[in-house]
Amino acid sequence: MKIVKTIAEMRFIRASLPEPLGFVPTLGYLHEGHLSLVRQARTDNASVVVSIFVNPTQFTPSDDLDRYPRDLEGDISLLCKEGVDAVFAPSVDEMYPPRFDSRVEVDKLTRRLEGASRPGHFAGVTMVVAKLFNIVQPARAYFGQKDAQQAIVIKKMVADLNMNLEVITLPTVRQQDGLAMSSRNSYLSADERQAALVLYRALMLEQGLWSQGDKDAEKLRNEMVKLIGKEPLATIDYISITDNETLEELKEVRPPALVSLAVKIG
């Protein structure tokens, strides 16, 4: 497995990797969610590249750039076992040299939900993902359903800009008790970690009510609000039931619907 630090070296190595190539872009501090993407990429493709880059442009000023967890050696060891061909781990200066002056953005889709809570976040995501796609030139790129809006935004960018690759979204990987795997879970105290389960419980409640015949989005949303309201450590950022492609709010919930929620814990 090659560890690649520069764009020039990545391009050089890329040229000799067999087609099709599967690509998993990450911020590192890898968990089973990332590894599920890597394993699918390994199954689907002749070669696999994983990038590890804590991209500063997707962190808003109030985000956690400085304390975002990192463990490059541990990540490399995990990826080696998965039969990855190359890990691309560039520096910030390598990706954003002086006088960097370009932008790649998706507009309407990024104004709601996570985009409304973290202005500029998705502009940073589309920027770095466009760069990484151009450097790595994958046939397929893999993203987790946990960041549902991100996957939808990237699919839109790929379609609009005619990028020649397929974006594949894989299910959220959860711990046994239902907490979604996330590098940021490392921030949680034991009490907060317990409180965070309210997210999963809210999703399960919604799914249960819906499968019993409750299709009214307003009612389903209110039931989730009520449940989360009982958890003293949780403050709701947003709960939203939308179309899975346009991100427009639904009145009546039918597939393909997306239930997305964000809750502040602590």
Q: Which is nearer to a second copy, 26 or 126 (CB)?
A: 126
Q: What whole-number distance in Å separates Cα of residue 50 and Cα of residue 114?
A: 25
Three-state DSSP state, 186: helix
Task: Tell which positions 50-109 bind a second copy, by CB under 8 A.
Answer: 99-109
Select which of 4, 21, 34, 85 is catalytic: 34
Burial of 39 (0-12, 13-18, 19+ CB in 10 A): middle
Spatial contact of 56 and 81, defined as CB atoms under 8 Å apart: no
CB of 56 to a second copy, least distance (A): 15
Q: Does 154 bind a second copy (CB under 8 A)?
A: no
| Least distance CB 39 / a second copy (angstroms) | 27
3-class SS of residue 224 = helix
Taken as a whole, the chain contains a residue count of: 266
Residue 155 binds a second copy, judged by CB under 8 A: no
CA 84, distance to chain mean position in Å, is 20
Under rule CB under 8 A, residue 249 binds a second copy: no
Among 246, 249, 264, 266, binds a second copy (CB under 8 A): 246
Report the residue number, 106 or 199, with the smaller CB distance to a second copy.
106
Residue 16 binds to a second copy (criterion: CB under 8 A) = no
Question: Is residue 31 among the annotated active site residues?
Answer: no
Size of the site for a second copy (CB under 8 A): 27
104 within 8 A of 28, measured Cβ to Cβ: no
Do residues 211 and 204 lie in contact, with contact meaning Cβ atoms separated by under 8 Å? no
User: Residues in the site for a second copy, rule: CB under 8 A?
Assistant: 7, 11, 99-109, 126, 130-131, 134-135, 137, 156-157, 160-164, 246
Catalytic center residues:
34
